[in-house]
Amino acid sequence: MIRIFAVLLAALVWAGPALSQSDPQNTLVLETTQGPVVIRLRNDIAPQHAARLKQLARDGFYDNAPFHRVIAGFMAQTGDGDRGDGRGKSKYPDLKQEFSQVPFRRGIVGMARGGHSVDSANCQFFITYADAPHLNGQYTVVGEVVSGMDNVDKIKKGEPVRDPDRITRAYVQADKK
């Protein structure tokens, strides 16, 4: 009986990433200069933010966007398809926060925002390298990396980054042709 349980547990652990990618409508793929990064969007906890990332990917807004702010041991920020320096926005209005109980840990994708308001997320997002409990309840969790975190680890660091790595193409998995 214990062996059966161990085998089932091992199968679930092994299948976990595959299961979390099973919703192509809510899977965002970032082709980056360091390799692909696959993100499971959490439309269950942040439906407006998940919809925004999908819309911007479909618009081509993220294509060639740099990872403009990358802090070792903390996070890699991208999504400024407007200016590329971290000060740009999309043509869409800012979003009201959608805070959740999901903690910021390695691989969590959060929405960046202006310091002036919790309701100022627009297009930029970040991927955490490690647990960041100081972000809990302060930023919207919009997804998590299910594949390619090793590629996120390779992204050039800096504030700002010289000759930054980029998202070469972003798309919703369901749209892949």
Which pLDDT score, from 0 to 100, does residue 97 have?
Answer: 97
Which of 92, 79, 86 is closest to 30 using CA atoms?
A: 79
The upper half-sphere exposure of residue 12, i.e. CA atoms within 13 Å in the direction of its Cβ, equals 6
pTM of the full structure: 0.88
CA 93 to chain centre: 20
Tokens in use for 126? 């970040």
Domain 23-175 falls in which CATH fold? Answer: Cyclophilin (2.40.100)
pLDDT tens per residue across all 177 residues of the chain = 454 434 444 444 444 444 444 899 999 999 999 999 999 999 999 999 999 999 999 999 999 999 999 999 999 999 999 999 999 999 999 999 999 999 999 999 999 998 789 999 999 999 999 999 999 999 999 999 999 999 999 999 999 999 999 999 999 999 987
Any idea where the domains of the chain sit in the sequence? Answer: 23-175
Does the CA dihedral 146-95-104-46 come out positive or negative?
negative
Q: What is the pLDDT of residue 114?
A: 86
Output the pLDDT for position 57.
98
Query: How far, CA to CA in Å, does 36 sit from each of 82, 168, 170?
Result: 22, 10, 10
Look at residue 132 in the predicted model and tell me its pLDDT: 98
